[in-house]
Structures are given as structure tokens and as C-alpha cells.
Structure 1
């Protein structure tokens, strides 16, 4: 089916008081696993390509993006393509021609005034191209090897009043918030500030996004969605599933040299995790008409 639009998926989930899960992809196996897991769950999904993933691929966006588009077009559920944590204006401007319907423009490292100015300019350009745009306010730690912020550090929590002013003045379509979450966590120990989630949801009229969800326990995720989160970003959880499965396979089969054997095991592990997390989040099922018909029986 044609590519879905991120804004429509997130908006529909928000209206249903639910959330859509957005998975970061690095390899073709990630793409295939996310689509397979979403199909197994019968739910829409977002494929995310981060600026760091583009750097890993030699600075070239199109090879991974084209693979994602091809997989999305063959999927039995709606699949959207999102460009994540963009700091480079040059990369931002490649998004429309590469099949992306949305971007997350990340100027959160800057002081508030500079973040607002940069984000406002990015939003104006993105909207002129028909792109849905997400931004971040409050610092979600753990990015690029930085440690998580202390819960009481300045910027470690998104202030509702400041968030309202930021969204109004920047014109963004969604806001990633800092509520006790952190990127790149390998243990699921994050404790979210659910009172803050409810205050933010009651203050803002745009969907809220949770980054760093891999470190959040299942119950915390479910409660956060119930409190108003509409887009849940996942990256590290897939890498943990893939790496663990490959490590176990190679330990059991030290003679293995065919990469298809261990990459296949890793892909299956990621697909199972995708299906499981979609179930935890409670993403509404895709319309029955969007699903691929079952193959004929013999």
C-alpha cells in the first residue's frame, strides 16, 4: 500500500487516547523486522531514520530510505517514514524527496531562545513542503553517549507553561517531552513523572512524544499512553534483541560463517519485540482493508 503519513497515524492514535510506536532502523534487517512485527500485531507503525543512522551509512540517506519505502509499500499495515533527531539543515532538506512525511528537528541542545528560533524556521520550511514536524523541549539525556540527566537538573523536565509558549511560537505539530526518560538505556529502570504527563497533555493541543522508551518498563509505558503520550519512540530495545540473539547463536554455533544464518535469527528476535511492544502500547489495529489477504489454501 502507499506510504502512510506520520501525522495521520499519530493524530489518529491521539484521538483514540492511544499511541503509535516508531522504531529506529539501522539495517535492512531492522526494516524487515519492524514491518513483520507490525503485521503480526495488525497495527500501523512508523519507521524512523535518525541523523546518527545516516552518519553510520556514510552520510547517505537514500539507500536506507529507499529500502524503507519499498518495504512500506509492500506491507499489509500502514507504515510511515520519519526522519529523527535532525540537527543538520542539509539533511532536513533531503526529507521530502526521500519519502519522509515527517521530521523531528532537534535544537534542544540550544538555550531556549535559540532552540525556538531554529525550530520556528525549520517548522516554516517543513510545512511549506507538506511535512509534519516534531521538536523537543527539556533535555532527554543519554544521546551520543551523554549520561542521563539527574531528575532535578535544569532541563531534566519539560515545563508545561514553557512548552505551551514554545509550541505556540514555533508552530510545531508534536512535542517530545522530558518526563524522566533517557535515550540509549539498556536496562528498563526509568520511572516516568505521570503527573507531569497529565499536566502537559492538559496544557498542549499537539500530540506528545516519548523518546528513550527502551528504558521504560511495560507498566510505565502503558500508564504514560493512558496519560496522553501519542508517539512512542523505540531504538535500543531492537538492538538489544538483535545483538542478544546473534550472540547466543554464534556461541552455540562457533563454526557459523554464513551471515544470513545469524542475521536471520537477529531479525526474528527484533520482529518479536516489535509485536510485543505494540501490544504493550496498545496501538489501535489497522483497518481490515489495509491487511494483505491470506494466501489461498491448497
Structure 2
């Protein structure tokens, strides 16, 4: 599945009318950092930090970026902080299909293709799939066309009662993991689009056949929570790993995530190699 451009993410809810101070204070409190600790990290003073947060002092552009870096503020929200402080955003948001990102797209495609026969995909900030390999399309066999229409959404495909959900043997545990992951992202990004997606998928009914809690397989000592999914009469087990880019300088790149599914038992390894040989 080739990389495709996804729709724009809703802009931050930050309001420039309130200034940067309240937003910086909110990020500092979210990170559980005191004014003194932040001042030491940013080579400033607690008094200056206090003045910035209360609006008594307007921070320089360099100070806004320095504080945002020490508070690990996401790139999109750093732009919102700059706007709130009266400065222009400094991080571009380049469309994924733009020529400037040709090398990135090529690298991502090579990465997930090289991971075959195991599943791997690339998603954006709202879990829309922008690229996937044959391992993923294999798992999606039998999913209704209505769920496969663009934009393909990984959370919707996994948790929808007509999607993969009825085939996931440990659905309650895997569903809980996915919803908790989304909750962490919502707390970090404050995205209305992500919140709407969460409310949608959290409301999906759990298929009746998944009502019982599956007992763990004592013969397989899993090293992480697996997704145990049926495929053509076989039970496959995967553990998931998510990778993002270090020090991104573009909003689009910052919000991409590469999810790979590592086989969690020898039987899954053998079956996938046989299936795609």
C-alpha cells in the first residue's frame, strides 16, 4: 500500500488572545515541573518564569522555544505557543505528498516493505493509515469495503465490530491498551479530531463472542501484551512497537508513527513466512 497524503489535523485549541503565559503554565503543570526547576533548566530565574506565566513579562521568541523544548511540548503546540506570544510559527506543516518529503516517503516505504512478511504500517496523528505493507493487508482480508474506504483508520479498523475486533481473541485486553494509548495522546496533543475518534471507537460494542476473558497461554511466556488474532483458522500472536522521529522540524513529520508487529511465538513466524514465500 503506497504512502498517501492524509487530511489536515485540526489546529490547536490554544488561543492567542490569552497570551503564551497560561499555556506555558499549563504545560509546566502537566509535566509536574516547578517554576524553579524550569528556570534552572532554561537558564532563567523563577521570578522571570512567574512573570511570563502571569503575563507581566512578554517572553522573547527564543525563550518561548527554549521553555517549550524543556517542557517537551509537541511541535504543533510549539507553533501555538509562538502565535499566542505574538510571533510567527517556525515549524512548517508540509503535505506528505509534497516533493520536499520525497526522501522521507521513500525511506518509510523501504522500511515497512523490508519488514515483510511481518505487518508494519505508518499512521498520522489521528491514526489514519498513510502506508502499510502486505503483512497488514493480509490481516485485513475479509473486512467490509465500507471500512477500507479512504481514509483508512487503524483504530476504527481494529475496534469496529465489523472490522478486526471479532477475530481478536483477547479483545478486551487489547482494546483497553489501545484506548489507554489514545487517552495519553489526547492529553498530550489536545486534538478535537483525536477526541472525536476516541469517543467513536470507545462506544463500539464488544462482540458477544469476545465477552469471555481469555486465559493466557501458559506454554508461551509473552514478554509484552500480545494481540492474539485469528486468520483463516489459525491463531496468530503479535506484540506491537511504535517508532517516531527524533527532533522533528516539521509538524507533519513529528506526527507520523511507524507501528510494527513482531511475531510473539514461533508458530506465527513460521506461518507468515509460509504464507508470503
Which is bigger in relative contact order (C-alpha 8 A, separation at least 6)? 1
TM-score with structure 1 setting the length: 0.28
- Determine which structure has more spread, i.e. the larger CA radius of gyration: 2
TM-score with structure 2 setting the length: 0.30
